[in-house]
Amino acid sequence: PPVGPAPLPSPPAPVEGGWPLRRAREAIRARHFSPRTEDAYLHWLRRFMAYAGADPAAWDEERLSAFLSRLATESRVSASTQN
């Protein structure tokens, strides 16, 4: 059996009508970010939503910190990307 915590879930399929994604997309476009930047930001928002749940009311600093720690330790995402 595997040792350690379960791997991070894959991002869910895009939910275009979900208000967190819609609001994020609107904010990104209002700032005139490139389409690739928008794609990247929404990808990470979807991954966070898969980890922390789709209800923003349940999101807190502790969940965000745990998500970032798991990225750094399990997915080997550079810690410098978390600043």
What are 6-38's pLDDT values in tens digits?
666 665 555 444 788 889 999 999 999 999 999
pTM score > 0.85 for this model?
no
Q: How far apart are CA 81 and CA 40, in angstroms?
A: 13
3-state helix, strand, coil in the chain (%, to 5): 60, 0, 40
- The CB-side HSE value for 62 (13 A sphere, CA atoms) comes to 1
Q: How far apart are CA 59 and CA 61, in angstroms?
A: 7
- 């929404």: which residue's tokens? 42
Token digits for 57? 């009311």
Q: How confident is the model at residue 81 (pLDDT cuts 50, 70, 90)?
A: low
Report which residue type is found at 19.
Answer: W
pLDDT of residue 53: 84
Which pLDDT tens digit goes with each residue over 46-75? 989 888 887 888 889 999 899 888 888 887
Q: In this model, does residue 39 exceed pLDDT 80?
A: yes
